[in-house]
Amino acid sequence: MRKKKDFLFGAFILSASNLLIKLIGAVFRVPLTEIVGVTAMGYFSSAYNIYNLLLSIATAGLPIGISVMISRSLATGKLRDISRIMKIAALSFVSAGAVLSVLGMVFARQIAVFMNSEDAYYAVFWLMPAVFCISVVSLFKGFFQGFGNMAPTATSNLVEASVKLIAGLSIAYYVSRVLGGSDAEAVGGAIAGITLSTFCAMTYMGLRYLFRKQDYRFSREDLLKSPETERKILYRSFFSVAFPVMLSSISANLMAAIDSFSVVNCLKGYNNIERSNFLYGAYGNMALTIFNLPVIFIGSIGVALVPEISSLFVRKEKKALKVSMERSVKTSAIISFACAGGLLAVSHEAVALLFSDDEAVAIASVLLKILTFVIICVGYTTVFNSILNSIKRSTSSVVAIFIGSAIKSIFTFIFVSIPFLNIYGAPLATCIAYPVMMIIGYYFVKKHTVVKMDMKEIFFKPLLSGVLCYIPAKILNWLFNMLIPSRYTVILTVIVIAAIFFVLILLFKIVTLDELKGIIRKDDKNKEKGNDDEISVQRD
């Protein structure tokens, strides 16, 4: 049977692929913005927020639910449960994806009008079939992640991103330049390319599952010896994990959808609709695009963490659980603080590298500066929620996200309605919401695992890493801009600061060489196997 992989190795694979994906995504948005303009990209962002909301209903909780259930089945030897888990997931989530795709296409115009962006109709319509495709992709991602293999997920993401770049830009250019279509229609063409990319990813994952290796199959003898969980209990266990994750994702994406609605609606109170969409385009398409680059690294750690934590928890290995939790939180926090420090130092240069509209760049760079603080909170929140999902305490993560979403929505409406704050009220509201989610998440993790993590490891060392990234980045950015002024100097700054940062975190012993070896080692040979100390789990 396949050896379980260390979660940091899985996170490393996902992070490497996601770096390429995000770079491809940034490359995709930059020429698309040149083709259709900043205002039309506001339609793109509005459509994407609705798409993500429907996607969260159809697929959120699916990969997590499957991976948790499969990792537990492997840990307890209940091999016959695995095929039944896949059937349950396919019946419930994939069918939901199909229904939502059809409904989204039928009511695309009404959705666009509701979002105060009637011209977003084409984008909304062509994006809806992707909901079904991604629901199928998520089914197979969950299967492989349950075995601790993140490579299929990484590859499918790369397939999707590559096709999106080529097909999306080609169709948008053809509609705009050859057919002479409107900017809204060109955005719809780009979205059609995105939908095609999800179909390609679905085809890849389907073939990968169909022709999977023997490591993922079991002999008849193994299956006959395997104990079997009662069907009713299996259903209940699966949905006890998947449903709360779905609710938390819906809450988070509902927050983004409300953002689109409330931000544009509030801006219209003292701007015309064109100006409102321009400002939202600078925020949603430019600032958030760069903000999401480091966030994807953090999300990779959360995804890779689930099978290992779930397996350790069900086997009641308290010492190993503590080690795994501390490593995951520390790794995520170091990345978060470093990225926040680096982005704070080069925010204007980073936006100017990708986008050319001077006014939009000036606005987006300030928005990005405000959002850098949020990256730190996202790092902790993501990992805390992943831990809670792994130990069947997903309801607690729902509570944290729901409260944070409510706070975000309320303060967005209040802040953006103030002309003095204008569009800058949106990221300020986010800076209030995420610390609340982070604190609630930490409280629940501490309560339900009764594991006391070392604050020096999970906070003070990462904080130092942020300082060690910000100061050299600020100095280098100033120096390069003075000696070789160019919009591309930020690339040189990032490359040099990455090397300096790597040396500094080793010099200050923020991470050790042994910890770095653990990231690139496939098998978890150094995992501390604790005594079978029972973990006290308190009930909600």
Q: Is 99 helix (H, G, I), strand (E, B) or coil?
A: helix
Q: Indicate the residue type of 229.
A: T
Give residue 56's pLDDT.
67
The span from the CA of 271 to the CA of 286, in Å, is 20
Strand-pairing partners, residue 5, are: 523
Q: Quick check: 316 and 533 in contact, CB under 8 A?
A: yes
Instruction: Note the pLDDT of residue 57.
Output: 64
Give the span between the Cα atoms of 203 and 255, in whole angstroms: 31
Nearest to 107 by CA among 128, 93, 135: 128
Look at residues 343, 342, 344, 362 and name the one whose alpha carbon lies nearest to residue 352: 362
The residues of the chain scoring below 70 in pLDDT are 1-12, 14-16, 18-19, 22, 53-61, 115-116, 248-249, 251-258, 296-297, 299-306, 515-540
pLDDT at 529: 42
Give the DSSP letter of residue 90. Answer: I
d(CA 326, CA 286): 34
Q: What is the spatial distance between Cα 398 and Cα 248, in angstroms, rounded to a whole number?
A: 4
pTM over 0.75: no
pLDDT of residue 90: 87
Cα separations (Å) of 13 from 17, 324, 332, 520? 6, 18, 15, 9
> DSSP letters of 176-244?
IIIS---HHHHHHHHHHHHHHHHHHHHHHHHHHHHT--GGG---HHHHHHS----HHHHHHHHHHHHHH
pLDDT tens digits for range 391-430? 878 788 888 888 988 898 899 999 999 999 999 999 999 9
pLDDT of residue 531: 44
**Distances from the Cα of 472 to the Cα of 67, 294, 339, 366, 467, angstroms:** 40, 19, 13, 21, 9
| pLDDT of the residue at 73 | 86
Q: Which of 230, 268, 435, 407 is nearest to 336 (CA)?
A: 435
Q: Write down the pLDDT at residue 536.
A: 40
What per-residue confidence (pLDDT) applies to 475?
A: 93
Can you give the pLDDT at residue 206?
A: 94
**149: phi > 0 → left, psi -120 to 50 → alpha, else beta; which?**
beta
